Amino acid sequence: MGVKSSGTWSLRRWLQDAHEQLAEEEDDIGWEFRSTHDLCRTWASTLADAEVDPLLVLDWGGWEDLETFLEHYNGT
């Protein structure tokens, strides 16, 4: 397992806490299976819907593979 930055760990911890709280409040264990990947995908999709330049989103999100990113970003 690679070394993670404290920011990544903080985000993961926050998501875990939020998932547990939502699972309890909504009585839906499905919330516990959400991940940082889901958050990133939702964020990128929201920007795509707002017609933000995909190259900016690629850069902001730290993605490296343009072709794969565009396939997912454009929903193709």
Radius of gyration (Cα) for the chain, nearest Å?
A: 15
Q: Count of domains in the chain?
A: 2
- Examine the domain organization and report whether 13 and 28 are in the same domain: yes
By the 8 A CB rule, do 44 and 73 touch?
Answer: yes
Helical segments of the chain, H only: 6-26, 36-49, 54-61, 66-73
Residue 22 and residue 56 share a domain: no
Same domain, 14 and 49: no
Together in a domain, 41 and 56: yes
Domain, as residue range, for 4: 1-33
**pTM of the prediction?**
0.61
Instruction: From first to last of the 76 residues of the chain, give the pLDDT tens digit.
Output: 444 555 667 878 888 888 889 889 999 888 878 887 888 888 888 998 999 999 999 899 888 888 888 887 776 5
- CB-CB contact of 31 with 22 (8 Å): yes
Same domain for 23 and 53, yes or no, is no
Q: Is residue 57 located within the same domain as residue 39?
A: yes
